[in-house]
Amino acid sequence: MLCRFVFTIFDENQLSMPSVSQKGLAMPESPIRKLAPFAEAAKKRGAKVIHLNIGQPDIKTPQIALDAVKNNTLEVLEYSRTEGSETYRKKLAAYYAKNSISVSAEDIIVTTGGSEALSFVLGSIADTGDEIIIPEPFYANYNGFATASGVKVVPVVSHIDTNFALPPIEAFEKLITQNTKAILICNPGNPTGYLYSKEELQKLAAIVKKYDLFLVADEVYREFTYEGKQHHSVLQEPAIEEHAIVIDSVSKRYSMCGARIGCLVTKNKAIIKTAIKFAQARLSPPTYAQIASEAALETPQSYFDEVKEEYEERRNLLIEELTKIEGVKVAKPQGAFYCIAELPINDADDFAQWLLEDFRLNGETVMVAPAAGFYATEGLGQNQIRIAYVLDKDHIKRAVNILKEALKSYIG
Amino acid sequence: MLCRFVFTIFDENQLSMPSVSQKGLAMPESPIRKLAPFAEAAKKRGAKVIHLNIGQPDIKTPQIALDAVKNNTLEVLEYSRTEGSETYRKKLAAYYAKNSISVSAEDIIVTTGGSEALSFVLGSIADTGDEIIIPEPFYANYNGFATASGVKVVPVVSHIDTNFALPPIEAFEKLITQNTKAILICNPGNPTGYLYSKEELQKLAAIVKKYDLFLVADEVYREFTYEGKQHHSVLQEPAIEEHAIVIDSVSKRYSMCGARIGCLVTKNKAIIKTAIKFAQARLSPPTYAQIASEAALETPQSYFDEVKEEYEERRNLLIEELTKIEGVKVAKPQGAFYCIAELPINDADDFAQWLLEDFRLNGETVMVAPAAGFYATEGLGQNQIRIAYVLDKDHIKRAVNILKEALKSYIG
């Protein structure tokens, strides 16, 4: 009794401090980064940790981009324009033209990473309580931006057995309410690697037109498609010019995640006019990174050919090795550099933590991202992990071998 | 009738497009940037426009910061840590110690500009409909971030006749409701240049303690105080360790606005834990800019001595010249590099636009920021402008002379 009383006093003392917001409490922790303390502890105890958990490629940034920053002659590191420098936006428009996407510099707002582009888009299209439909599993940080913007994510389930193809249109229609503002896709998909076909995009175009929704597409992995497959952009659908909004970023394209430069692209003038107000509040995107990003647009095609070949080889090796492990199911990615693997376990969170805390093979272990954080539906993805194939083939081979031995030991 | 009918049809077509959010419509345009098209038009017609409207200093960035970026040896431009690199945060803690502010690296989250720090703070402390009390006039973009976060700004008026000193505590108390989450100050103030005294900070400390509020202080102009006056930080008030949150930035300190590096600093662990979740969603602050910012911490004191002397001379000249103009009232700034001037006119918006469109003196004109955008109370500040004294004395002298002649002509 005494003990209880003391605790009550303590709680009341706590209550006399200002408290964090409900929104702050509701903000999800990043499933990609939340295991970081366990990885650090493992490293401190001498283990080598192979990182399959995060999309930080080991690919070199194009020299032309690095050199542009090294050779800059700025004396005052000034704000850039709120919407990004005019020369950069003009060159971006030319980049899109080369990708058969017809937009002008005025249709583009340069942002601090794709993240900020998404945040501006959510603010521009949705109010508190409004809903965005997203095929799940989806990039976990969509949850964070939705929570920060007061927007409700409504998931529509896609399945590992169909490689995470677009769910049937009826599944979308069932979820549309008067609060639905948009459908958000990631194409090619993080974490699924799924590449939407032209037919699937046309189905989405029909539905957003029918219900007056926006179709927001995160296309930051546009270049990374395999087996000669073609990427299709929502901006190529002529019927939905006013509906289509693209989120883009230089992070993966040029292996320059630390630049923090992205953009939002839309032919919808009202959205540009609205998003620019969100952009004005934060003044401008980073100047050095814009110098690097503008120069990166001159990256020769040979760079992409090599990088794509490298990723495709990594993918092939990863999928081949994973499918050899008994009980492991894997969706073969057609783009980006992630895949979702289903493991013969019940709780991938526990398994991922156990890998870092308790399992070593020749002094090494693997860090993976538990997939539950990529789902909004409670209970889904609990036996799945996301693997980023951003490391060289030697590391991938060793990592999968570790997973194989670890599963034996963990299940046993 | 026919015409009307046609318009109706057109309107209905418009309605069949998806629409922007109420939040997006409510987002304010930047009063600093909204006249930009008129300035561009003036320049295209051959006028020289002297920019007093924006806090983009002409002061050179410290060479040590520029060199650090030029000499970087990165091969892969990687994400940094979500909370900013450990070495940078440790050096930041040392910087604060030198300024008699005792914090550790764990109390700091590095952000993309002070802007992002404010956005994380609002998200962490306030929910939709919650209220933040801000002495007005205040930095206009606070309105933007509050709108984006769904937070209501409750202004408490400060007056030009008292140099914009802290309003009486009773004025704050009258405004506190159960939805009030924080008091937000900018110290030294943008746009007022007002520097809060230790006594004023103690009054604020008492009130936030009494009502369990946060005290958020934007202290990005900390170094720029005049007449030998001392800056006092809310982090120096021992009684409000759990209440005090500082917004900071390298933008003005080192004249590197284009870096987009800031931070939030607080001893309140719950706020750090919450804000880091907002930070995780956007992955990391820009890497190049962190290199520059870390190096900038080694800037010699002589740089600040020179810069401060320069700003103080500019301030003295500006105030001296402005007070010579009949009918102009000006609050003498004790810090930062802005002042509010009251003009013998009714509508500063109209005057500022007229300056750009219609007035030239020897082919030159001046761009100023109409002050109404720095007030939340409708109708206040309409005869005031904000002037940023970020240009050399020759430009300032010419600019004030232009204002003087322009006022004669405008009033006449």
Q: Per-residue pLDDT tens for A33-64?
A: 778 889 999 999 999 999 999 888 899 999 99
Do B352 and B394 share a structural domain?
yes
Do A385 and A282 share a structural domain?
no
Task: Say which of A141, A212, A284 has its CB closest to residue B281.
Answer: A141
Give A1 to chain B, closest Cα distance, Å: 29
Within 13 Å and on the Cβ side, how many CA atoms surround A85?
A: 18
Per-residue pLDDT, B304: 93
Q: State the CB neighbour count (10 A cutoff) for residue A267.
A: 18
Q: Is residue B96 situated within a structural domain?
A: yes
**Could you tell me the CATH number of the domain that includes residue A387?**
3.90.1150.10
Q: Is residue B184 situated within a structural domain?
A: yes
Strand, helix or coil for residue A264: strand
Give A284 to chain B, closest Cα distance, Å: 7
Q: Is residue A88 situated within a structural domain?
A: yes
Whether A305 shows a pLDDT value over 90: the answer reads yes
- Interchain contact A30–B (C-beta under 8 A): yes
Q: Is residue A17 situated within a structural domain?
A: no
**Could you tell me the CATH number of the domain that includes residue A240?**
3.40.640.10
Measured between alpha carbons, how far is B265 from B110 in angstroms, rounded to an integer?
A: 9
Q: Is residue B342 situated within a structural domain?
A: yes
Do B220 and B152 share a structural domain?
yes
Interchain pair A76, B82: CB under 8 A: no
Do B183 and B156 share a structural domain?
yes
Per-residue pLDDT, B410: 97
Do A222 and A206 share a structural domain?
yes
User: What SS3 string covers chain B?
Assistant: CHHHHHHHHHHHHHHCCCCCCHHHHHCCCCCCCCCHHHHHHHHHCCCEEEECCCCCCCCCCCHHHHHHHHCCCCCCCCCCCCCCCHHHHHHHHHHHHHCCCCCCHHHEEEECHHHHHHHHHHHHHCCCCCEEEEEECCCCHHHHHHHHHCCEEEEEECCHHHCCCCCCHHHHHHHCCCCEEEEEEECCCCCCCCCCCHHHHHHHHHHHHHHCCEEEEECCCCCCECCCCCCCCHHHCHHHCCCEEEEEECCCCCCCCCCCCEEEECCCHHHHHHHHHHHHHCCCCCHHHHHHHHHHCCCCHHHHHHHHHHHHHHHHHHHHHHHHCCCCEECCCCECCEEEEECCCCCHHHHHHHHHHHCCECCEEEECEEHHHHCCCCCCCCCEEEEECCCCHHHHHHHHHHHHHHHHHHHC
Q: Is residue A362 situated within a structural domain?
A: yes
Whole-model pTM: value is: 0.93
Do B287 and B306 share a structural domain?
no
Domain boundary among A256, A278, A296: A296
Residue listed under structure tokens 């860090």: A367
Do B322 and B287 share a structural domain?
no
Q: Which of residues 80-139 of B touch A (CB under 8 A)?
A: 80, 82, 112-113, 115-116, 119, 123-128, 130
Give A317 to chain B, closest Cα distance, Å: 24
- Of the candidates A141, A264, A288, which has an alpha carbon nearest to the alpha carbon of residue B279? A141
Per-residue pLDDT, B2: 39
Do B131 and B259 share a structural domain?
yes
Q: Is residue B331 situated within a structural domain?
A: yes
- Interchain contact B14–A (C-beta under 8 A): no
Per-residue pLDDT, A134: 98
The size of chain A, in residues, is: 412
Mean pLDDT of chain B: 94
Interchain pair A148, B278: CB under 8 A: yes
Using pLDDT thresholds of 50, 70 and 90, give the confidence band for residue A107.
very high
B87-90, Cβ contacts within 8 angstroms, sequence gap of 24 or more: B87/B294, B88/B290, B88/B293, B88/B294, B89/B263
Per-residue pLDDT, B32: 74
Domain count, chain B: 2
Do A211 and A71 share a structural domain?
yes
- Interchain contact A198–B (C-beta under 8 A): no
Q: Is residue A224 situated within a structural domain?
A: yes
Backbone φ and ψ for B97, nearest 5 degrees, come out as -60, -40
Domain boundary among B296, B313, B336: B296
pLDDT digits (tens, 9 = 90+) for B65-96: 999 999 999 999 999 999 999 999 999 999 99
DSSP state of A412: -
Per-residue pLDDT, A36: 86
Do A259 and A229 share a structural domain?
yes
Domain boundary among B296, B324, B356: B296
- Interchain contact A408–B (C-beta under 8 A): no
Per-residue pLDDT, B144: 94
Do B115 and B262 share a structural domain?
yes
List the end-to-end C-alpha distance of chain A, in Å, as a whole number. Answer: 44
- Of the candidates B270, B272, B215, B269, which has an alpha carbon nearest to the alpha carbon of residue B245? B215
Interchain pair A80, B281: CB under 8 A: no
Do B211 and B330 share a structural domain?
no
Using pLDDT thresholds of 50, 70 and 90, give the confidence band for residue B29.
confident
CA angle in degrees (0–180, nearest 5) for A209-A90-B353: 90
Residue A189 domain boundaries: 63-296
Q: State the pairing for strand pair B180-186/A214-218.
A: unpaired
- Of the candidates B258, B232, B206, B210, which has an alpha carbon nearest to the alpha carbon of residue B334? B232
Task: Say which of B17, B182, B278 has its CB closest to residue A212.
Answer: B17
